[in-house]
Chain A
Amino acid sequence: MINVYVEISKYLMILLMAMYTFCNFRYFTVAEEEAKEDYCAWQQRILLLLHFIAFSVLFFTGEELLLLPFYGVQLLFFLCYPLLVRKIYPRISRLLLNNVCLFLALGLIMLTRLSLEDGIRQFVLILVGALISLPVPFIMDRVLGLVNWRWLYGAAGIGLLLLVFAAGSVAYGAKMTLSFGGISFQPSEFVKLSFVFFAAAMLYHSLEFRNICLTSAVAALHVLILVASRDLGTALMFFVAYIAMLYAATNRGIYALLGGLMFAGAGAVAYRLFSHVRTRVAAWLDPWSDIPNKGYQIANSLFAIGTGGWAGMGLGQGLPNRIPIVEKDFIFSAISEEMGAVTAICLILICLGCFLQMMLTAYYMDMLFYKLLAVGLGVLYIFQVFLTIGGVTKFIPSTGVTLPFIAYGGSSIVSSFLLFMVFQGMHLIMMGDAEAESGEETEEYWEDEDTDEE
């Protein structure tokens, strides 16, 4: 009987994922606020149902009693967190908030399936992240000095990265973590934010050529320190985010072109300089000729995705644990293996939906600082998604970055929370502006619609 339950719930969860994704995109196409609200409310219900079904499957197949209270506290979180956030900030983007919850739920489901211990630890980290990031929208809305602290952002970023370079510990060939007193964290996850704040504030300050050069030099310093620490995936993300910001600020294709050329040049140099880059490129080109060694990770990831197929093996029915570091870099493959490629595609679409929402924010913000902030953080986010999913599916060589909110890892969870809450802050400012404009400058703003109605 359990077999049948697992099988039926598998298809049910795929259906729920598809419905959730549908709501996500329908949201963009309907104009009325009430309809948008409806879709968001549906998303929340779907999310809770999906989460419930998944944990019931995990419970029936594993019969681990601890799962019951664990599910209970998660349910409490998924009920209370959105309520709390919306209580404090009534004009927050519900869509973005829902998507955060969906990512967290998918991550918790998969991590608990892989290892209950990891799941619990991840949940604690989620609580910490949610709590720390709670005041961020308030700060964004009220603290006016944010645009002026450009050198503070720059100094903090460079300082942290140098500290890692000097005192960090090495894992998987890259120096990424600092530890003290038993707690280890990845400063680069936080430097992501300070870096974008720095570049946005600098370019907002002045778009003169001298200032652009200065900004680019400091940005390049960030990237170079990361390269020296062999954290090439993160270095690449910083680089792309900066080029996008520079392009958005100047609207000059030459910067994008220059960035592309530099990327090609840097790629060629990195290929010659670093043996692990060569290894990864070789594994990407042909993982099959050396499966036991170089191609092991990527081949196992593809085995997982391929064997799972469109509908997946069902939760607990596959072998995701055979993929090395599955809970971090390869969580996407595990989801695709057990929950199906349809779910995986929905997940990609939802990530893309988040990015669209972020770019809408960039589009509608008035102040250049916020625009650049939104572009930088949005590109940083979506490029990270691209690197990790592209890497585990062999679309591009793997870079060892993780899927925000879903993959295991405290620093990553907290920094993703901060990043999304910065957007929520900008959303508040945007809504505030819209309200102010509709009050003060009604004619200018609503002119078109008014004539239509008459």
Chain B
Amino acid sequence: MRNKGEKRRTHSGKDLFNRSILRITYGVALIFLGLMAYFIWFVQVESPNVIGNTYNPRVDLMAERVIRGKIKTADGVVLAETQRGEDGTETRSYPYGTLYAPVTGYSQKGKTGIESLANFYLLSSHVNILEQTTKELLGEKNTGDNVWLTIRHGIQAAASEALGDRKGAVIAMDPETGEILCMVSKPSFDPNTIQEDWEALTAEDNREGQLLNRAAQGSYPPGSTFKLVTVLEYIHEHPSDYQDFHFSCSGSYTDPEGNRIQCYGGEAHGEQDLFQAFANSCNGAFARIGEEISPQETAKLAEKLLFNQALPFDLPYTRSSYSLQEGDSLFLKEQTAIGQGKTTMSPLHNLLLTAAVANGGELMKPRLLSHLENAGGENFRTFSSEGAGRLLSEEDAGLLKKLMGLVVTEGTGSAFRGAPYGAYAKTGSAEYESGGERKTHAWCNAIGEGDGKQLAVCVIVEDGKSGGSTAAPVARAVLDAWWAGEENHGEDTNL
């Protein structure tokens, strides 16, 4: 048998070898503990975020066992429901057609909007286990869960009415909770007839962009709304003497290189300090600030304020872009400072900045989902608010809010005067060229506060007049609707 001498030789060193064997064993056990912890975390915590993906073919399998649930607003209005014919055919109907299309999305031709985001929830059923088993025994379908949104029907309807037939978007959010209360985009499509309309909607010569949710996916020059960034940068660079700034406005400003920058409508603002220049949206004053401030520092600030960054939003959106560099021309620096130039921004992003100002600099993650209820009407899961980080120091937020207050009391935000709540705003008139014509996108960011609640809203109207005259009244209508309470729209909720 085995050689005894050989065995002796190894025997003395056995403990030494065993020590390393034990270490290897512990090491492997540790790695596997990590693997299992990760696996448990994935199944328990992460997988709900993963399996709702439209690429997951298994979710469609669930549609064979479950009737898709309803989508409802925070005030209980049904935005989408599945109706079953006697022969078992199912049709998804959207009672409000185009009004909620940017929110709900469509469910034929693929899925978008809430239909995509909440796909998994709509196809899950949380009716009690007894009913589920009985139905399964009988081979019947269970009824899927209903998804309640944070959207208020009253606000959505008011926003849509105020925007009218113009192209543009309105989006509003509670700055303290991140709840989106309305998201309007026009022109829109009818999700009921998406099959039939598909060809026309996606035709190459269709320039209307009905399928684009302008509120999140629209990309516009920010115009004077960008002066929030410019003024903040100027104050950061002149912490002690920004109050000494003054500029004499004659309606147009000629820079050292001979470029001319005009104020909106050629209006002469006269002697302006920094606050007045902001309130009146004086382009000359801000062009001169743009010559002076450091492009690098401004870029840093812009990135901190989510330009060129991902936004904390679950539906598709377009990233905002800011690209001014040290070596760029003086004229581009001036243009960028007043929100023209190459900068682009989505209404959603502008809303988030406004909301951060309203909330003391802290941004809440915007969200559309409120809670889930089963077919029996029981609420079994409530989504909670999440912070999305601090964009501004509390001091800066306070200062910007004060400036936005001056816009209402002294400047371009006159539309908000006399409101039964505190109002803060910044208007913008972003010029663009279309077919050789100079046109204007009208912007308005606004904050309302009072009676223990707040609301931030952002409006863009394409091809409008000035922000103050075209967009501000729309924003005002939204804030008014929120403070008037929903009883005014109560009749709708009983539909």
Binding site for B on A (CB under 8 A): 1, 3-4, 7, 144, 244, 247-251, 288, 291-292, 299, 302-307, 309-310, 313, 318-319, 322, 341, 344-345, 348-349, 352, 355-356, 359, 362-363, 366-368, 371, 375, 379, 382, 386, 389-390, 393-395, 429
Contact = CB atoms under 8 A, between A and B. Distances in A.
Given A144-B2, A303-B51, A344 B133 contact: no
Contact of B14 (A7, A291, A307, A366): A366
Nearest to B139: A3
Contact of A345 (B17, B40, B136): B40
B205 interface: no
A304 B287 CA distance: 57
- B48, B58, B133 pick with most chain A CB within 10 angstroms: B58
A3 B137 contact: yes
A395 B25 contact: no
Nearest to A307: B58
- B13, B32, B48, B137 pick with most chain A CB within 10 angstroms: B32
B6 interface: yes
B21 A248 contact: yes
Given A307-B59, A319-B57, A248 B39 contact: no
A390 B38 CA distance: 9
Contact of A395 (B39, B47, B50): B39
Contacts of A4: 133, 136-137
Contacts of B59: 307
27 contacts: A1-B137, A3-B136, A247-B23, A248-B17, A248-B24, A251-B16, A251-B19, A288-B53, A303-B50, A303-B51, A304-B58, A306-B42, A307-B51, A309-B43, A322-B57, A344-B39, A352-B28, A356-B29, A359-B24, A363-B21, A363-B22, A367-B6, A375-B24, A382-B28, A382-B32, A386-B32, A395-B34
A65 to B, nearest CB: 25
Given A3-B137, A341-B40, A345-B40, 20 more contacts: A1-B137, A7-B136, A249-B17, A250-B20, A302-B47, A302-B50, A303-B57, A307-B56, A309-B47, A318-B58, A345-B36, A348-B36, A355-B28, A356-B29, A359-B25, A363-B22, A367-B6, A368-B17, A382-B32, A389-B39
A292 B17 contact: no
A319 B21 contact: no
A367 B2 contact: yes
- B24, B31, B38, B55 pick with most chain A CB within 10 angstroms: B24
Contacts of B28: 352, 355, 379, 382, 386
B35 A390 contact: yes
Given A291-B53, A303-B53, A303-B56, A251 B24 contact: no
A344 B51 CA distance: 18
Given A366-B11, A379-B24, A390-B35, A305 B58 contact: no
A395 B35 contact: yes
Interface pairs A-B: 3 shortest CB-CB:
A306-B47, A303-B56, A306-B51
Contacts of A3: 136-137, 139
Contacts of A395: 34-35, 38-39
Contacts of B434: none
Contact of A367 (B10, B19, B55, B139): B10
A1 to B, nearest CB: 7
Nearest to B56: A303
B18 interface: yes
The main secondary structure of chain B at its interface with chain A is: helix
Given A345-B39, A348-B39, A379-B24, A291 B61 contact: no
Contact of B20 (A251, A304, A344, A386): A251
Nearest to A299: B55
A393 B38 contact: yes
A345 B310 CA distance: 36
A363 B22 CA distance: 8
B32 to A, nearest CB: 5
- A307, A362, A429 pick with most chain B CB within 10 angstroms: A307
B251 to A, nearest CB: 49
A368 B8 CA distance: 11
Contacts of A7: 133, 136
Contacts of A359: 21, 24-25
Interface in B42-101: 42-43, 46-48, 50-51, 53, 55-59, 61
Nearest to B24: A244
Interface in B103-158: 133, 136-137, 139
B438 interface: no
Contacts of A362: 21
A387 B81 CA distance: 45
Nearest to B43: A341
Contacts of B48: 306
A386 B59 CA distance: 29
B7 interface: yes
A390 B48 CA distance: 20
Contacts of B14: 366
A334 to B, nearest CB: 12
Given A302-B50, A375-B24, A368 B56 contact: no
Contacts of A299: 53, 55
Contact of B58 (A1, A244, A319, A352): A319
Interface string B385-402: 000000000000000000
B42 A393 contact: yes
B325 to A, nearest CB: 28
Contacts of A319: 57-58, 61
B17 A247 contact: no
A41 B18 CA distance: 31
A393 to B, nearest CB: 6
A355 B21 CA distance: 12
Contacts of B29: 352, 356
B10 A368 contact: yes
A250 B24 CA distance: 13
A12 B18 CA distance: 41
A362 B14 CA distance: 11
A313 B65 CA distance: 12
Contacts of B22: 363
Nearest to A309: B43
Contacts of B51: 303, 306-307
A244 B27 CA distance: 11
- B14, B20, B50 pick with most chain A CB within 10 angstroms: B20
A1 B50 CA distance: 32
A245 to B, nearest CB: 10
B50 A366 contact: no
A251 B19 CA distance: 8
A61 B99 CA distance: 46
Contacts of A352: 28-29, 32
Contacts of B139: 3
